[in-house]
Amino acid sequence: MKELKARILRDGRCLPGGILKVDNFINHQMDPILMKSMAVEFVRRFARTDINKIITVEASGIAPAIMVGYLLELPVVFAKKKQPSTMENILVTEVFSFTKQQSYKICVSKDYLKPGDKVLFIDDFLANGNAGKGIIDLVEQAGAELVGMGFLIEKSFQKGGDLLRSTGIHIESLARIESLDNCEIKFKD
Amino acid sequence: MKELKARILRDGRCLPGGILKVDNFINHQMDPILMKSMAVEFVRRFARTDINKIITVEASGIAPAIMVGYLLELPVVFAKKKQPSTMENILVTEVFSFTKQQSYKICVSKDYLKPGDKVLFIDDFLANGNAGKGIIDLVEQAGAELVGMGFLIEKSFQKGGDLLRSTGIHIESLARIESLDNCEIKFKD
């Protein structure tokens, strides 16, 4: 997606160790107009997909997910990283965070992820694919169907893209980064 | 706001101890169409207010905040509950969670909350007002101005509403709950 790539080049910051900071417009300060444009692009890319629910993981996935849900007029569920005391009837899975080098749990209520649901997962980053793997597990536990996964930015030089695509699930990334070597942002194709 | 009150009566669940569960449409599963309607109502209520930025706290505040930002075409910043390793130049404050009976820190980058900013705070719940107090502190530390605070649901029987209104800041709540006694939802006026 041209607009997103241009914005990454303008406002993204590359840090040593393959880190891309986009906290100016995606995951700390957010540009809602860009969020809407990216959601429109997801609608276009998943136009042939039968979807009845959007799922994401708190916190950075919520803004793009709610915009997709708004456009498609579908409910949006966000998996929680901490289980609220009043939450019962839950599905839990473990996610390994490569950045933090530790595991954490994400959970979702069975009331909002059910057998028969056709779920589209939306998130900000695809890097090692661990959040995606967690969602695959939750959706499977629920007896629902994961019909697609949409990411704003994919780091193609990490293994998540290949890993998730090997499951056969329809994956879309709006900007694919091939390399951040020498702190230079290079897009794939 | 009539539509929100009707939805609370229909889908909200009252638990012993003054707990109102709205995880069917606000803070776990979210209804994006209702989020947009509530954002429109905030725009109306803060129509005379000069705003250049929306602020919220992760995670449940993000959906209503991004919708307000989208309508007003303003950037939205969410305060984080964990400081990312790549985040520098930050403002931090402590927030006491009454529900969890413990304190946690919220932080925001100085790059996105600056002197001269006229900030509208949007959040899902106003109960004891502790998140609101934290935001007041962060905005003050930044040398910015807090021009208003908008909440989806206020529990008027808890002390946050009085506490925040006593600061003179313009506070709006879309649904004010007077009592949850005997697990019955009673609205104020």
Is B32–A63 a contact, with Cβ atoms under 8 angstroms apart?
A: no
Mean per-residue pLDDT, B70-84: 94
pLDDT for res A37:
98
Is B62–A67 a contact, with Cβ atoms under 8 angstroms apart?
A: no
Condensed to tens digits (0 to 9), the pLDDT of residues A135-148 reads 999 999 999 999 99
What DSSP designation does B158 have? S
B10-43 CB burial, b ≥16 within 10 A, e <16: eebebeeeeebbbbbbbbbbbbbebbbbbbebbb
Report helix angle B32-45 to A62-72, nearest 10.
100
Q: Give CA–CA dist B128/B151, Å, rounded.
A: 12
Domain of residue B30 covers 2-187
Condensed to tens digits (0 to 9), the pLDDT of residues A65-112 reads 999 999 999 999 999 998 877 778 999 999 998 878 899 999 999 999
pLDDT for res A84:
78
**Terminal CA-to-CA distance of chain B, rounded, Å?**
11
Secondary structure E strands in A45-144: 53-57, 76-79, 90-97, 102-109, 118-126
**Residue A189 pLDDT > 90, yes or no?**
no
Which among A32, A85, A108 has CB closest to B70?
A: A32
User: Per DSSP, what are the bridge partners of residue B175?
Assistant: B153
Condensed to tens digits (0 to 9), the pLDDT of residues B94-133 reads 999 887 889 999 999 999 999 999 999 999 999 999 999 9
pLDDT for res B162:
98
Mean per-residue pLDDT, B23-40: 98
Return the H-helix or E-strand segment holding A5.
helix A2-11
Which among A33, A66, A73 has CB closest to B30?
A: A66
How many structural domains are present in chain B? 1
pLDDT for res A98:
80
Which among A21, A23, A63 has CB closest to B66?
A: A63
- What are A's interface residues with B at a Cβ cutoff of 8 A? 15, 19, 21, 23-24, 28-33, 35-36, 58-59, 62-63, 66-67, 69-70, 73-78, 80, 84-87, 99-100, 108-109, 111-112
Largest separation between any pair of C-alpha atoms in chain A: 48
Q: Give CA–CA dist B102/B69, Å, rounded.
A: 31
pLDDT for res B121:
98
Residue B120: φ, ψ to 5°: -105, 125
Q: Report residue A8's pLDDT band, with 50, 70 and 90 as the boundaries.
A: very high
**Which of A17-26, A96-105, A122-131, B12-21 shows the lowest per-residue confidence on average (mean pLDDT)?**
A96-105
Total residues belonging to chain B? 189
Say which CATH number the domain at B12 has. 3.40.50.2020
Mean per-residue pLDDT, B161-185: 97
**Residue B86 pLDDT > 80, yes or no?**
no
pLDDT for res A88:
80
Q: Give CA–CA dist B144/B146, Å, rounded.
A: 7
**Residue B45 pLDDT > 90, yes or no?**
yes
Task: Give the ipTM of the model, two decimals please.
Answer: 0.97
Q: Using an 8 Å Cβ cutoff, are A160 and A127 in contact?
A: yes
